[in-house]
Structure 1
Amino acid sequence: MIDIHPAGARHAVIWLHGLGDSGAGLAPLVEALALPADLPVRHLLPDAPERPITINMGYKMRGWYDIRSFDDPADRAVEAHVRESADRIAALLSQLVAEGFAPGNIVLAGFSQGGVIASFTALRHPAPLAGLLCMSTYLAAPEQLVEEMSEAARALPICYMHGIYDDVVPLSMGWDARQQLEAAGLTLAWHEYPMRHEICRPQLGDIRTWLLARLLP
């Protein structure tokens, strides 16, 4: 795990990468945000475990969960793996709190698979977090959201971002996630960009603006 921990940091962002990537793969994003020097923020970029991924012929790669097929939503994110990974991130949140970071000063962010785990964790976390940022992603086990969602999640600032031309996680899956969250009584900011399954330059500015609104005192 990459842990960028500037002196005096009272805020933290946990960044969760996509399938086949690593924490190091998201590190350039953190640098590109160029957050103000007078706002020291701790950035944690954990690595998913290596596991066989069915859709990739069973090859082992870093993945927060297996994807068995793209046809059935239940096979798109193996729930047992999702819960296992969410428990790991919840433990990381608890570790930060034990080190003195208030839950209200911690943002969970994720891209693709990482966004699935970020949302699954944040929406069930018992304490109010600073925010949830999800990029090019979807929801796992949405039919269980209303039953399992924490009371704290009702006031959670949420931002979803998606590429119009995404050919890995189609835009329709992002729309579905938005509708499922709104049906659960949640409010979220929504951004679309003329891009594929990636992070584009205009999006960086929106991420920066949203993060600063969550992190500034």
Structure 2
Amino acid sequence: MAAPPPAPAAAAAARAGGWSCGCTAPPRRASRAAPRSRPTSPPPPPSASPSPPPPSPALTTVRDEQGVLEAVEHVHEMLDKEVAAGTSPTNIFVCGLSQGGALAIASVLLYPKTLGGCAVFSGSVPLSKSFADRVTPEARKTPVLWFHGMADGVVLFEAGHAGCAFLQELGMACEFKVTYPTLGHLLVDEELQYFRRWIFDRLGISQGTKDARPSSSSSNHEDLH
């Protein structure tokens, strides 16, 4: 089963075959997709501006961090429920787009267990470097896959690059995809296909011939293969 794509309008976790993939984003009205467990995470607080995040994790304000930490608690509740339901933490993958990506990586950094992985789509690290001491050795073992378009005018490319560098300073494995010279603040099929393969590789699942290669004719940036 393919990993469910990051939903830009809902926070969700889907359980399938002993593993789960959760996507975080500011919630809106639920879609008519297949049933999923949905956390009751609140929308971003008034202090969290929708303007582009700072180009460096060190510049995040205290007010922003307080709002992020409140949202992180809700994501951790979702993760704990998945673990309590019998899913191994290393079989849980967290992902998010934009502010959802920022929430996803913050949740991984502050979670006391090693997860299967985290994917950030056009996001940033919303915590200052002062939080580095709170990142446990187990959390640092969670691998991260980071996608960012170089033409992103909402969350600047520099913010994504700085975020990945911050994770690497913590000793975390962060794969930063920089092959999108003309991609803006968007989520495209090539990213989802690559993310799907990335998850399956970590789960040791053979993809066989079911993993169709996306057509490069439908994209204006480099193929990920």
The TM tier, using the shorter chain, reads: 0.7 to 0.9
Give, in whole Å, the separation in 2 of the partners of 1:151 and 1:114.
Answer: 24
Aligned to 1:204: 192
* TM-score when normalising by structure 2: 0.72
Give, in whole Å, the separation in 1 of the partners of 2:165 and 2:46.
Answer: 28
Flag structure 1 segments of 5+ consecutive residues without an equivalent: 32-41, 55-65
Flag structure 2 segments of 5+ consecutive residues without an equivalent: 1-10, 206-225
Aligned to 2:22: 14
C-alpha deviation, 1:186, in angstroms: 1.7
Give, in whole Å, the separation in 2 of the partners of 1:44 and 1:98.
Answer: 13
Residue type at the aligned position of 2:49: I
Give, in whole Å, the separation in 2 of the partners of 1:158 and 1:46.
Answer: 22
Decide which structure has greater helix share: 1
1:71–1:104 Cα change, 3 Å? closer
* TM-score when normalising by structure 1: 0.75
Paired residues in the alignment total 189
Instruction: Report runs of 4+ in structure 1 exceeding 3 Å deviation.
Output: 1-6, 19-25, 42-48, 50-54, 68-73
C-alpha deviation, 1:147, in angstroms: 0.7
Give, in whole Å, the separation in 2 of the partners of 1:134 and 1:168.
Answer: 15
Q: Deviations over 1:22-45 (max 9, x none)?
A: 6649x6xxx9xxxxxxxxxx9655
1:183–1:172 Cα change, 3 Å? same
SS in 1 for 2:155: coil
Give, in whole Å, the separation in 1 of the partners of 2:140 and 2:95.
Answer: 18
Q: How large is the RMSD of aligned CA atoms in angstroms?
A: 2.9
Q: Assess if the C-alpha contact under 8 Å between 2:52 and 2:154 holds in 1.
A: no
C-alpha deviation, 1:50, in angstroms: 3.9
Aligned to 1:59: none
Give, in whole Å, the separation in 2 of the partners of 1:195 and 1:141.
Answer: 25
Aligned to 1:195: 183
Aligned to 1:62: none
1:48–1:190 Cα change, 3 Å? same
> Identity of aligned pairs, percent?
23
